[in-house]
Structure 1
Amino acid sequence: MTPSAARGSWQARTVRQVSALTARRLIAAAPVNAHTLPLARIVLDRALRAAAPILRGTTAVPVREGRVRGEWVRGPRATRDDAVVLYVHGGGFVAGSAAGYRGVAARLSTATRLPVFTLDYRLAPEHPYPTAPQDLAAAFRWLMAHGHSPGRIIVAGDSAGGFLAADFVITGTRTGTPAPGGVVLFSPMADLTLAVATGYDGGRADGLLSAGLSRRAVTHFTPDPFELLPVRGKPLPPALIHASDTEFFGGDAVTLAERWAATGGVCELQVWRDQMHAFQLLPALVPETRFAYRSAARFVSAVLDSAAAAV
C-alpha cells in the first residue's frame, strides 16, 4: 500500500465536508426506484459534466455496433495508437453514461496519451445482472476484433464500474478469457454484500455514499450480492487501485488489493487522504485529481512498456 504523504488540500476537505452536510443527506433520503431513476440519471450526468468539464481539443465519436455502445474519446495530446483504454463508468449500476463521463475520459486519455473507449453498458433495474458484465465482455471482444491485442488493452473503471472491471478480469481467469494488459481502478466496490464497507472506519467520513443508498442500488443490480474472490495461484494482470481513507468503499479497495496480490499478481494500492469517493471525477473542484491521473498514466506506461520489452 502506498499512502498519500500529505493531508488532502483544503479544497478536497471542503468539498467532502459540504457534500456530507448536503448531498449525502439528500441522496440517502431519496428512494431509488423506477420513478426517481430517470431524473437521477440526468442530474448525475449534468453534475459530472460540471465537475469534469470537457477539455478543449477533445474529440468524441459515438459507437453503436451490435451490443457494443459507447464512445471513443481522445483528449488533447493523445497521440498514441499502440494501445487503448476500455473505461467502465460508475453510478451504482443504475446510473452514469459515456456522455456524462466524457470529461473524465478526456483527462485519462490526455494523461495516458491513449484513446479511451467509454462503455455504455445497460443499466439496472431495467437490465439487471448479468447484463452489464455481458456488455463489458462484448466490448472487450469487439476491441480485439478491431485489431487490439488483449495485452494492449487497459481496463479501467470507478466505483461500480471498478467492480465490473475487476469482476471481468477475475472471471476471465476461470473461463480462459484473454487478460488485459493492466487494470486501473478508482474507488472500486469489491463486496456487494457491503460487509466490508460497513465495517470500515473511514466510511463514516464519506461525503456522498451511505449503506442505505448503496444497498438500494445493489438490490436493483442483483438480488444475490456477491464479493470479488480472485483465484489463488492464478495471477491477475498488474493493477493500480486508488482509494481514500475517508470514503465508504475504502475498505473494499484495501481488501481487493490484498486479494489481488495474493494471486501472485502485481497490485499497487494508493490511499489518498481526505478525499471523496472517486474524487478523480471532480477535477474542477479537487486539485489532487491531476496527480491521480498522472499516477494512472505512469502505471499504464510502465505496464505497456514492460509488455513491449517482453515481446
Structure 2
Amino acid sequence: MPSLAEQREQFATLLTRPLPPDVRSSATTLGGRPALELRVETPGTAGQDVLLYFHGGGFVVGAARVPAHLTVALLRHLDGRALSLDYRLAPEHPFPAAPDDCLAAYRELLDSGADPRRLVIAGDSAGAALAVVTMTRAREAGLPLPAAAVLFSPVTDLTLSGASLQSKDGIDPIFTRAELEWYFAQYVPDGDRSAPGASPLFADLTGLPPLLIQVGSSEVLLDDAVRLAGRAGADEVAVTLEVAPGRPHVFQLTESAEAAAALDRAGRFLASWLPDGEAPARSPQAGSDTDKDGR
C-alpha cells in the first residue's frame, strides 16, 4: 500500500481540476482552519448566499481544493460565495477532530453575520457525513440550522452493516469492504463507531432542513445513503433520494453529462429553499463543468 503522503497526493492529482476562468478563489480561515473561498465573478452576483462545503476522502485524504469544481457547479445556482473547509485529517487527528472543526466553521459563519436562511451545506462522501453531523450538533447547541443540504454518496455507517457491502462487492469500481475498514480504523481507532457523531445513520435527525441525497447504484455504500434517507423520513425531515443506475461513488466528480445534470439538480435544490426561491443558473464559462465532449 502507498504511504499516507502518497495516497493524499494521488487522490489530489486524480480528482483536482482547473477552476473556470470566471471563478475567483482565495485562501482564508474559518473556525481556526484553512479554507478556500470561491466566488463567481459575474455582474450582479454580490449577494449574501453562503455555501459551506465539506470535502470527501474517507476522513484521511482530500482537501478543500480537490472538489472545488463541484462546489462551483453548486455555487452557480446561488448568489454569493462558497467556503470549502480543510478540516483536520486522521490518523494524525482522529475523531472527533474533523466534526469539531466543521462545527467551529459553521459557528463562525453565523457569528460573522451569515443569515442561516441564506446558508446551505453540501459535502461528498466523508464530507457528506460531516455535513449531517454538523447540523445535528448545531441543533443540539441551539444554533439556527441552514436552509438546506445536499449530500453526495454520504458515508453514514462506520460499522459497515449495510447489505450493499456484500451485494455490490465486485461491482463497485472504487471500494472494497477491507479498504473502507482501513479508512474508518484511521478515523475512529478506538471507541464506538456507531456513536451518532461518527455514524450519522444512528443520529436523531429531527429538525434538520430539507435534504437531497444523491448516490450511485454501483456503490458498496449504497445502503448508507438509502438508509439515511429512510431515517430522515422517519424523523419527519423533507428528503429527496436520487439513485443513479450504474454510477460509482461520488460520480458527480466525473466529467460526464450525467454528473453535470446531477449537479444542476443539486444546485437548483439548494436555491429553491432560499428566500427568493429558484435562482437562475449562470452558464459556465469555457473550461468549466461540462464533460470532455462539450455536453
Alpha-carbon distance between aligned partners in 2 of 1:237 and 1:67, rounded to the nearest angstrom: 26
SS of the residue corresponding to residue 64 of structure 1 reads strand
Percent identity, aligned pairs only?
33
| Amino acid across the alignment from 1:297 | G
Per the alignment, residue 241 of structure 2 pairs with: 269
Which residue, out of 275, 280, 288, partners 2:258?
Answer: 288
1:39 matches 2:9? no
Of Structure 1 and Structure 2, which has the larger fraction of its residues in helix? 1
1:163 matches 2:135? no
Q: Which runs of 5 or more residues in structure 2 are unaligned?
A: 279-295
1:56 matches 2:21? yes
Alpha-carbon distance between aligned partners in 1 of 2:111 and 2:163, rounded to the nearest angstrom: 38
Per the alignment, residue 256 of structure 1 pairs with: 228
1:225 matches 2:198? no
Post-superposition CA distance 1:9-28 (Å, at most 9, x none): xxxxxxxxxxxxxxxxxxxx
**Cα separation, partners in 2 of 1:259 and 1:60, compared to 1, 3 Å:** same
Per the alignment, residue 22 of structure 1 pairs with: none
Contact 2:165 2:177 in 1 (8 A): no
| Amino acid across the alignment from 1:149 | D
1:133 matches 2:99? yes
Alpha-carbon distance between aligned partners in 1 of 2:208 and 2:134, rounded to the nearest angstrom: 11
Q: Return 111-120 or 271-280, whichever deviates more.
A: 111-120
Contact 2:77 2:271 in 1 (8 A): no
Contact 2:165 2:221 in 1 (8 A): no
Alignment RMSD = 2.1
Which residue, out of 123, 145, 149, partners 1:183?
Answer: 149
Displacement of 1:201 after TM fit?
Answer: 2.4
Between Structure 1 and Structure 2, how many residues are aligned? 270
SS of the residue corresponding to residue 76 of structure 2 reads helix
Contact 2:31 2:106 in 1 (8 A): no
Q: Which runs of 5 or more residues in structure 1 are unaligned?
A: 1-29
Higher relative contact order (CA 8 A, sep 6+): 1
Per the alignment, residue 211 of structure 2 pairs with: 239
Alpha-carbon distance between aligned partners in 1 of 2:9 and 2:241, rounded to the nearest angstrom: 32
Contact 2:118 2:275 in 1 (8 A): no
Q: Return 141-150 or 167-176, whichever deviates more.
A: 167-176
Matches within 5 A, 1:89-238: 89-196=55-162, 198-199=164-165, 201-202=167-168, 204-223=170-189, 224-226=192-194, 227-228=199-200, 229-231=202-204, 234-238=206-210
**Cα separation, partners in 2 of 1:46 and 1:129, compared to 1, 3 Å:** same
Q: Return 211-220 or 192-201, whichever deviates more.
A: 192-201
**Cα separation, partners in 2 of 1:162 and 1:197, compared to 1, 3 Å:** farther
**Cα separation, partners in 2 of 1:57 and 1:147, compared to 1, 3 Å:** same
SS of the residue corresponding to residue 304 of structure 1 reads coil
Displacement of 1:161 after TM fit?
Answer: 0.5
Contact 1:55 1:75 in 2 (8 A): no
Q: When the two structures are superposed, what TM-score results if normalisation uses the length of structure 1?
A: 0.81
Alpha-carbon distance between aligned partners in 2 of 1:113 and 1:203, rounded to the nearest angstrom: 41
Post-superposition CA distance 1:162-191 (Å, at most 9, x none): 111111112333332321111110000110
Contact 1:80 1:114 in 2 (8 A): yes
Displacement of 1:62 after TM fit?
Answer: 0.4
Contact 1:60 1:71 in 2 (8 A): yes
Contact 1:197 1:203 in 2 (8 A): no
Contact 2:164 2:219 in 1 (8 A): no
SS of the residue corresponding to residue 207 of structure 1 reads coil
Alpha-carbon distance between aligned partners in 2 of 1:100 and 1:239, rounded to the nearest angstrom: 23
Contact 1:77 1:110 in 2 (8 A): no
Displacement of 1:76 after TM fit?
Answer: 5.5
Alpha-carbon distance between aligned partners in 2 of 1:278 and 1:217, rounded to the nearest angstrom: 17
Contact 2:153 2:249 in 1 (8 A): yes
| Amino acid across the alignment from 2:237 | G
| Amino acid across the alignment from 2:34 | R
Contact 2:31 2:101 in 1 (8 A): no
